[in-house]
Structure 1
Amino acid sequence: MSRGRRRAGGERPPPHSGRAQANLAALAAALFALATVTVLGVAAANGALVGEFRDSGDRHAATAVADRIVADASPVTNRSNVVDRGALASLDAATLRSYYPILDGRSFRVTVDGRAVAAAGTPRGGTTRRRVVLVERRRNETVTPSFSGPNRVTLPRRTPWVELDIDAPDNVSVSGVRANERTVLRDPDGLDGQYTVSVSRMETVQFTFVANSTLDRGDVTLAFAPSNTTKARLGVTVDG
């Protein structure tokens, strides 16, 4: 017969049970904290990845449009890196999107020396690409030369084309016209009327009129379109 005594209220808890329960609670808290940190880290990584993809898309779009808008085949350039002032003035967001579909669904802004010439949405960040350009403006001019000696006249400005109006008297025949050393018009029976000829815009042009007599003022009129160019910085900002 056992001589042990029972304590009122049941059996005594096994040794170290309280410590084990505390350790389990601490482990659970640690695991919860670790899971929370992991979730937050994954969320942050995903957010950074999405942001990187968005930034990469903005960079690609801004670079592509900036390169194409100053190219020789651009609708706003007269030649590579020379933009037409009039074409820039008529530029708008719809026109840009029609030429560059990569801008669809994006906010963007095109500027010249910081002044917006076309925009869609409100880009607040995104990526900006800049290109140095010449802004070209052409203005029609007319020259009515007074010939003395050789029938020659040098235009004061460079131009890509010249319109000649030849109206010599009946006793004077103009059989040919040379631009510098190149013959641009020729008619042994005599030139009479208006003619448009292309000339090099890279050099000043001198016209020589081959005639059987010295020409007088009013016998020839030349209309042309010299250009004025100013250096500017064109910017393309794209914000996805």
Structure 2
Amino acid sequence: MTQGTDVGRRQTGPIRGQANMVSLAVALLLLVGAAGSAIAIAHGSLAAAERDPAERNVATDLADRLVSPDVDHVRRENVLDRSETEALSVDDVESLSPGIEDRPFRIRIDGRTLLERGDPSGGTSVERLVVFATDDERTYRLDLEEDDAVTVPRRTDELRVTIAPENDTMVSTIRINDRVLLHDPGGLEGTATASVPWTATLRVTVDAEGTDGVVAITATPETTAKARLEVTVGAGG
């Protein structure tokens, strides 16, 4: 029985040695694999690090140019004319930001795609908070028999006044906020255009002899709405 025990003990050494070698081989394989993955990740990160600043620079420049007050579709800083902005073309965008010429890009307003070239998916996005402005033409009717004044909202810089007296009625003066806008002692008739303060609410009154006829005041007050502008730029070709 002692001999059998010795044989059993002599066999334990090689078995353990083989197990250790297998474990070592597995560990080496895992180490090599991890090193390869780390190198691949590092290479990808380096490539992204080299690419992303260029993409971000172009995206930032385009976003800044789209809201700059010195371009045609912008009324003032961060206030964009809605109709002119929505009419922008790829050529317009390239002229605004030359760095975009060989890159795919997308311009979105509140998630709605306004303009797109190529597929910039996975590119760099830059956002700007903006205000869209629209001119909303409105006409206010002042009946000389029934009305003594009409109120026109602010944010309009010009009024078009159409004076249509009837019978023996004569309109001599049109006032806004107690300031004379139009005056003719011999009588006003027809259409005239006059500049008005953009920031003031306007109360329009009429001096007339007689009560027959109408004065129509047409204004184009600016209406605004906040929006999110998103510019995405992809890698160059």
Q: State TM-score, norm by structure 2.
A: 0.68
Counterpart Cα distance in 1 of 2:133 and 2:191 = 27
Secondary structure at the counterpart of residue 190 of structure 1: strand
Q: Following superposition of structure 1 onto structure 2, how do residues 73-222 of structure 1 map, counting pairs within 5 Å?
A: 73-147=70-144, 151-155=148-152, 158-169=155-166, 171-209=168-206, 211-213=207-209, 215-216=211-212, 218-222=213-217
Q: Which amino acid aligns with 1:235?
A: E
Counterpart Cα distance in 2 of 1:81 and 1:173 = 46
Q: Is the 8 A contact 1:131 1:233 kept in 2?
A: yes
Q: Which amino acid aligns with 1:134?
A: V
Counterpart Cα distance in 2 of 1:184 and 1:231 = 34
- Structure 2 gaps, min length 5: 1-34
Partner of 1:239: 234
Partner of 1:18: none
Once superposed, what is the RMSD of the aligned Cα atoms?
3.1
For residues 181 and 106 of structure 1, do their structure 2 counterparts lie closer, same or farther at Cα, with a shift above 3 Å needed? Answer: farther
For residues 123 and 191 of structure 1, do their structure 2 counterparts lie closer, same or farther at Cα, with a shift above 3 Å needed? Answer: same
Counterpart Cα distance in 2 of 1:111 and 1:214 = 56
> 1:111: Cα distance to partner?
0.6
Q: Is the 8 A contact 1:150 1:214 kept in 2?
A: no
**Structure with the higher fraction of residues in helix conformation:** 2
**Bigger Rg over Cα:** 1
Q: Is the 8 A contact 2:144 2:211 kept in 1?
A: yes
> 1:214: Cα distance to partner?
5.3
Counterpart Cα distance in 1 of 2:120 and 2:126 = 14
> 1:162: Cα distance to partner?
2.0
- Equivalent pairs: percent with the same residue? 34
Match of 1:69 among 48, 51, 66: 66
For residues 225 and 142 of structure 1, do their structure 2 counterparts lie closer, same or farther at Cα, with a shift above 3 Å needed? Answer: same
* Residues 92-139 of structure 1: per-residue CA shift (max 9 Å, x gap): 222211333232112111110111101111112232221112223333
- Structure 1 gaps, min length 5: 1-36
Q: Is the 8 A contact 1:161 1:197 kept in 2?
A: yes
Secondary structure at the counterpart of residue 187 of structure 2: coil
Counterpart Cα distance in 1 of 2:191 and 2:154 = 21
Secondary structure at the counterpart of residue 57 of structure 1: helix
Aligned residues: 197
Q: Which amino acid aligns with 2:232?
A: T
Q: State TM-score, norm by structure 1.
A: 0.68
